[in-house]
Amino acid sequence: MLDALVEAAFEAVVEVVITGTGSLLVAVLSFGFWRTESMLESSREPYAGTLWFRRKGGVVVTSLGASLVGFAFYAGLVGVLIYRAM
């Protein structure tokens, strides 16, 4: 039981870190023109499953889109570190 609890806590931390990194990257790379929705906001929207949508003239990146951006960042970082180590 303790193993399952530790595993769930680890997965939650990783999810928050990856989504947080993705949200930060979206804001920085778009110079603040695009925004990301919070993880709590995503469950209320009818756009579930999409990566981004337009709302009130602005682009909103969903939490899934932010997670993919964060994952791509860390995958690229690992790739660069492996390449540099060779």
Contact between 62 and 47 under an 8 Å Cβ cutoff? The reply is yes
pTM of the model: 0.82
pLDDT for the residue numbered 45: 59
Domain boundaries, given as residue ranges, for the chain: 2-85
What does the pLDDT profile of the chain (86 residues) look like in tens digits? Answer: 888 898 899 888 888 999 999 999 999 999 989 999 876 665 555 666 788 888 888 898 988 899 999 999 999 999 999 999 98
37 neighbors 23 (Cβ within 8 angstroms): no
Q: What pLDDT is stored for residue 41 in this prediction?
A: 65
Residue 48 per-residue DSSP state? T
Q: Which residue has the tokens 């806590």?
A: 9
Q: Which helix (H) or strand (E) holds 77?
A: helix 63-85
Residue in this structure with the two tokens 């969903």, named with its chain if needed = 62
